[in-house]
Amino acid sequence: MQLGAGRFAPSPSGDLHIGNIRSGLLAYVRARQTGRRFLWRIEDLDRVQPGAAQSQLEVFADLGIAPDEPPLIQSERLGIYTEALNRLEGRGLVYECYCSRKDIQQAPSAPHSPPGSYPGTCRDLLESEREQHRQRLQQQGRSPALRLRTDNVEVTVEDRLLGEITAPVDDLVLKRGDGVFAYNLIVVVDDAASGVDEVVRGDDLATSAPRQAHLADLLGLPQPSWLHVPLVVNTAGSRLAKRDGAVTYQQLRALGWTPDDVYSWIATSLGVIGAKGSWSTIDDMVAGLDFDRIRTDETMFVPPSEALG
């Protein structure tokens, strides 16, 4: 029987910062501790910076980690995503949406729907109305997006660290107007195709889990279990970003950080300090990390401004 798998799926939109690295390392450690394969996915349908995917893999290689299989590359899998979309379409669960972002912001929200969810403008149009909208979009050089018909069901998933996560699933986009498959659809298709049965990632994506679980159900795919890890924040308490200073691996290396320094910072950030000393390799992290005891609050990263030593 094939082992289950965990994965890291960074968007190749630039260099990894210490927060992304921390989430990826946690995914790796969890896979090793639970006997799963560790897979890598290149989510390159959007926001790609040339060379970034390779450089992200090199950062992990420098930290002592190689994925167990060649990375899955999303841009090579468009036929598989089309097939999944067709399956939903065959069940009457897909409709065209002609709204612009502004249309959605300005529409009155549907009763009982959460803020920001799709108000359902295009859900129940007549075919004659659809034809008019198609022509209007065509004149503007735009194409319709494709949305999932959901009736705002509320879905609950169980997260190993966060407990129950409940979120309404609105009529999410499956394929954007510019023809790009939407994140939620392809994550679900790829995780199932790779045998990913536990998803470990940053908790900024925790509220996507109910949507992804719902999509997996509709596609007849198994749902993975979930473990969302707290994010690294900047000194102002917001999610760490490149503009916060020396935060990427390359910048830290240039300031004299070694892989040991990365592991030792990660140990401290997870509250693992003391008797046994801190970590300096991935093996230390695999041996020393107890997911039942990690800090579940956010961790602040203060970028170094000078070279070490």
Q: In what order do the strands lie in the sheet with 94-97?
A: 94-97, 145-148, 173-175
Among 6, 11, 216, 282, binds ligand GLU (CB under 6 A): 11
**Candidate ranges 7-15, 137-145, 170-178, 258-266; the one touching ligand GLU (CB under 6 A):** 7-15
Tell me whether residue 239 or residue 276 sits nearer to ligand GLU (CB atom): 239
Length of the chain, in residues: 309
Among 10, 19, 67, 71, binds ligand GLU (CB under 6 A): 10
Q: Is the separation of the CB atoms in 62 and 259 below 8 Å?
A: yes
Distances (CA, A) of 231 to 24, 32, 152, 180, 241: 12, 21, 28, 28, 11
Q: How is residue 23 written in tokens?
A: 């989430």
Q: Taking the CA atoms of the chain, what radius of gyration do you get in angstroms? A: 21
Tell me whether residue 99 or residue 200 sits nearer to ligand GLU (CB atom): 200
Residue 230 interacts with ligand GLU (CB under 6 A): yes or no: no
Residue 248 interacts with ligand GLU (CB under 6 A): yes or no: no
d(CA 65, CA 236): 31
**Candidate ranges 4-12, 69-77, 122-130, 163-171; the one touching ligand GLU (CB under 6 A):** 4-12
Among 45, 52, 84, 187, binds ligand GLU (CB under 6 A): 187
Shortest reach from residue 14's CB to ligand GLU, in Å: 11
Tell me whether residue 9 or residue 215 sits nearer to ligand GLU (CB atom): 9
Contact mark string toward ligand GLU, 82..121, x via CB under 6 A: ----------------------------------------
Shortest reach from residue 9's CB to ligand GLU, in Å: 4
Residue 221 interacts with ligand GLU (CB under 6 A): yes or no: no
d(CA 57, CA 24): 11
Tell me whether residue 9 or residue 262 sits nearer to ligand GLU (CB atom): 9
Residue 201 interacts with ligand GLU (CB under 6 A): yes or no: yes
Among 5, 6, 9, 45, binds ligand GLU (CB under 6 A): 9
Tell me whether residue 43 or residue 171 sits nearer to ligand GLU (CB atom): 43
Residue 43 interacts with ligand GLU (CB under 6 A): yes or no: yes
- Binding residues for ligand GLU, per CB under 6 A? 9-11, 43, 187, 201, 205
